[in-house]
Amino acid sequence: MIRSLSLAVLTHLMQDYLWIIWAILGAVLVVAEIFTTGFVLLWFGLGALAAGLAGLLGVDSIIVQFLIFAIVSIALTAASRTIFVNYFSREKSGGDLKTGVEGLPGKIGTVVSSSRGALNEGAVKVYGSTWTAYPAEGEDALEAGDRVEVTRVQGASIYVRRVEAGRDWRGKELNP
């Protein structure tokens, strides 16, 4: 009798204060998001906070609170994925964002190793990576220190041409 009474009291207290557990879980997940790169824990933290708020406002059912947690978390994750894909995958011109090797043509680099050999092979540093480089058709041999623009990528090599001094590493005109 005492055991069933204490279990009933414990269950009642648990339901009354379950919102505190949700709030603690939500806070832990939001703080944990700071230390991760996935940008997912934030949404689950907000879902836990929403479930905690529902519990605080009188929703006693653990199942309903869990459903609120799941629905809010999944909806926020899906919405953020859609927003981030649309925001980060388009340039202002409306074209696709080019990353990695696709983004190299048009970028400015510096020749770090002068041309040598029959093919005038040299080395160019672009965005912190050093590439095997060849002068584009009609260009002279590469000289260390020259500023060059990537014209095309072929395999693991780039073809470059010299640029005037008035362009920055992104290929944009410098304002005098």
* Gap between the Cα atoms of 76 and 50, Å rounded: 12
| 95-130 confidence digits (pLDDT tens) | 556 666 777 788 888 888 888 877 888 998 887 788
pLDDT value of position 90: 53
Paired residues of 135 in beta bridges: 160
User: Does the pLDDT of residue 37 top 60, yes or no?
Assistant: yes
Q: Domains for the chain: give ranges and CATH numbers.
A: 2-88 (no CATH), 100-162 (2.40.50.140)
The overall average pLDDT reported for the chain is: 80
| 78-94 confidence digits (pLDDT tens) | 888 777 776 665 544 45
Higher-scoring residue by pLDDT: 114, 10:
114
